[in-house]
Structure formats: C-alpha cells, structure tokens
Amino acid sequence: MRFVFKTSYDADIRWFKHGAQLFWYALLLAMMIALPLVFIISGNSYLLGEITSVLIFSVACLGLMLLTGQTGLASLGHAAFMAMGCYANILLLNAGVPWLIAFPLAGLLAGLFGTIIAMPVLRLHGVYLALATLAMSIITGDVIDLTEKWTGGVSGISVPDISIFGYTINKYANPYAFYYVALAVVVICTMFYRNLLRSPSGRSFAAIRDSEVSAQAMGINLTRTKATSFFLSCTMAGLAGAMFGHSATYVTHETFDIVMSITLFLAIVVGGLGFMHGAFLGAIISGLIPVLIANGRTLLSTTFGININIPGLESAMFACIVIAFILFEPMGLYGRWLKIRTYFELFPFYRKDMFRRQKSYLKTERVQ
C-alpha cells in the first residue's frame, strides 16, 4: 500500500504522483521504442502495421476524450474533422509545403474549421448536441464529392509520402520509420493532453462537465471555454486524420464515414470516459477486434474446416462489448482497473459501494 503525502499545492498538478509512476511510464515508453526490434528479428511487419494503426486511432480518441470526457460535450462527428485534417494535409503537401509544416498546419486548420462549425451549436446540450455533430459527419461525404476539384470526390486521391529532411517515409516501403513517426505524434499529443489537464483551461473544462451553472457562477465564460475545447479536440482529430491518410495512402469520400465517428465514441466509452488512459484502452480494443476475427477465421478454417463469412461481424462484436460495459462496468476498462487497484490498496477495508454512481446534477440544473 502506497501513501502519497502532499506537502505543497504544486503536488496536485505535477506530472507524476510519485517516482514509481514515473518509472513505469518510462519503462512503457522504452518498450514502445524497442518494439520494432522484435518484428525486425521475426521478419513479420504485419502486426507492427496494426499497432501503428492503433497509435493513430488513439490520437483521435484523445481528441474526442478531451471534448466528451473532459468537457462533457458529446460528439458523433469527429470523423468529419479527421477528414478535414487529412485533405488539408494532402493539399498542402501537393502545394510543396514541407511535411513538418504541413502536418501541424493541417491539424490547426481542422481545429479552426471545427470551431467555426461548432459555434452555432454550442448552446445545445446532451443528445441535441450529439445529433448536431452527427449531422456534420453525415454530410462530410457529400461535401467531399462537391469539392471534387481538390479532394478527388468519388474517385479519391492519393496521399503523398512523408518527407523529413529529404528522407521519404512510406508505411509499406519502410514501416518501421512510419511507426516511429506515429509514436512521436502520440507522445507529443499525450504530453499536451496531460499538461492541459494541469492548466486552468483543463480545470475549466472539468468544471463545465460537472456543472455548467456552477462553472458560470465561478466566472467561467461557457461559450469561450467550449469553443476552446472544440478547437483543441478538432486539432487533435485533424492530426489523427492526416496520419490516417498516410497510413491508408489513398482516401475517398467513404474513408471518413459515420461508422468511424461512432466507433470513436464507443471506443472512449469502452476505455473509460473521462480518463486519459481510457482513450488508449479503447483504441486497443477497437484495433484488436478485426485482428482477432481474422485470426479466428483462419484458425477455424485450417483446423476444423469451418468458413465463417458474416457481414458486419466486427461491428456486431464491438456493439456487444459496448452493451456489456454499459450494463456491467459503466466506468470502462480503466475504471475496472481503478477498482481492482483500490481493492488491493485498501484490503481488507475496501467497501463494495465505494464506486457506486450517484446523481451528479444540481437542483438548479433540473430546469434547463
């Protein structure tokens, strides 16, 4: 059992609670850096490509977690902002802008685009806000078709390779270099997210999530804070979309569809809504399901001679997982880990109802 003694107010906002936590995160980063060596020895880069896709998806989950989990604004249209980042990156690269400039600029353009669109719907709450963002995701394909001159429309458009100081990086030509680029993007976005939570802006986001009435009474500008949250969330989604385009190497109007938006939302719910770790856990689950289904089909076919080809099997499995978590573990995977850790830390004084959900709204909010 570990006791953390806080001797200053800075202890609440420092990066790590204690030295052991710093050690484990440093060890995890070292393992991720050394991971390609395992696939270089084995000569199989397929699984490395799947891990890279999980890293890219986790950036998009971080962006949505910032908006939905941290600020309490439900969004079902983040695939539209991923598409904006992807196509902006393509257009900038085709115009001759270096990747080190085009990539972050594409994310900023996606954030600006998302903020402009989100401003009219910031007064909406709950399911109405979710439906408004869902509408944005639905019309994304039509907008891409109408702007065929720049996006390629139905035919699609190829994504230029990454070029850093003359070194060309392609997912299929040199997957190991592409993995390190994706890992660097994830580390930077994670550090930004963690630092944001320690800042006054991050605390303002949490205040709006818990109670808009109380946050407004404390002097927080609701419209400006929500717009800031939308901007930062859409920026991270745009960066994820740009990396996703490099991973796919070719994108069409069907690449960023409504299914991707819903998958992002369900991933953060399964991972643990409101927890930064939940974004990574949800991305891992959503990335492992297709791999498990493919390996399961191969095993059944080679061992028992059973061929299973059911359309929509991946979506059905993911839906069942989400329903199970909503019924039995609303706090997600990371919430379950917190309960297990707390049980061993407090044993034998752990109480069963310690994590029971309570009504979090105020009486003044019932009339809204």
| Span 88-103, pLDDT tens digits | 999 999 999 999 999 9
User: Per-residue confidence at 356, pLDDT binned at 50, 70, 90?
Assistant: low
DSSP 312-328: THHHHHHHHHHHHHHHH
pLDDT at 290 over 80: no
The total of structural domains in the chain comes to 1
Residue 73: phi and psi, rounded to 5, are -105, 110
- Better-scored residue on pLDDT, 242 or 12: 242
- Better-scored residue on pLDDT, 349 or 167: 167
Q: What is the mean pLDDT of the chain?
A: 84
> Can you tell me the mean pLDDT for 243-266?
88
> Can you tell me the mean pLDDT for 107-120?
87
Longest dimension (CA), the chain: 67
**363 domain residue, yes or no:** no
- Structure confidence at residue 243 (pLDDT): 95
Residue with tokens 């939570």: 197
Contact 35, 51 (CB under 8 A): yes
Here the CATH number for the domain that contains residue 173 is: 1.10.3470
Which two three-digit tokens encode residue 255? 């690449």
pLDDT at 11 over 50: yes
**318 domain residue, yes or no:** yes
- Structure confidence at residue 353 (pLDDT): 66
**39 domain residue, yes or no:** no
Chain length of the chain:
368
Beta-carbon contacts of 260 under 8 Å, excluding residues fewer than 6 positions away, are 79, 82
Dist CA 177 CA 156 (whole Å): 26
The DSSP code for 250 is E
Contact 77, 137 (CB under 8 A): yes
- Better-scored residue on pLDDT, 289 or 180: 180
**159 domain residue, yes or no:** yes
Pick from 9-18, 192-201, 297-306, 353-362: least confident: 353-362
DSSP 288-348: HHHHHHHHHHHHHHHHT------TTHHHHHHHHHHHHHHHH-TTHHHHHHHHHHHHHHHTT
**35 domain residue, yes or no:** no
Domain that holds residue 228: 45-356
User: Per-residue confidence at 362, pLDDT binned at 50, 70, 90?
Assistant: very low
Burial of 266 per CB tally in 10 Å (0-12, 13-18, 19+) = buried
User: Per-residue confidence at 133, pLDDT binned at 50, 70, 90?
Assistant: confident
**33 domain residue, yes or no:** no
**366 domain residue, yes or no:** no
| Span 166-223, pLDDT tens digits | 888 988 888 899 999 999 999 999 999 999 988 888 889 989 888 888 888 888 888 8
The answer to whether the Cα torsion of 139, 129, 54, 324 is positive or negative is negative
**21 domain residue, yes or no:** no
pLDDT at 312 over 80: no
Contact 281, 332 (CB under 8 A): yes
Instruction: Reply yes or no: is the peptide bond before residue 200 cis, omega within 30 of 0.
Output: no
pLDDT at 368 over 60: no
| Span 35-73, pLDDT tens digits | 888 887 776 777 888 899 999 999 999 999 999 988 888
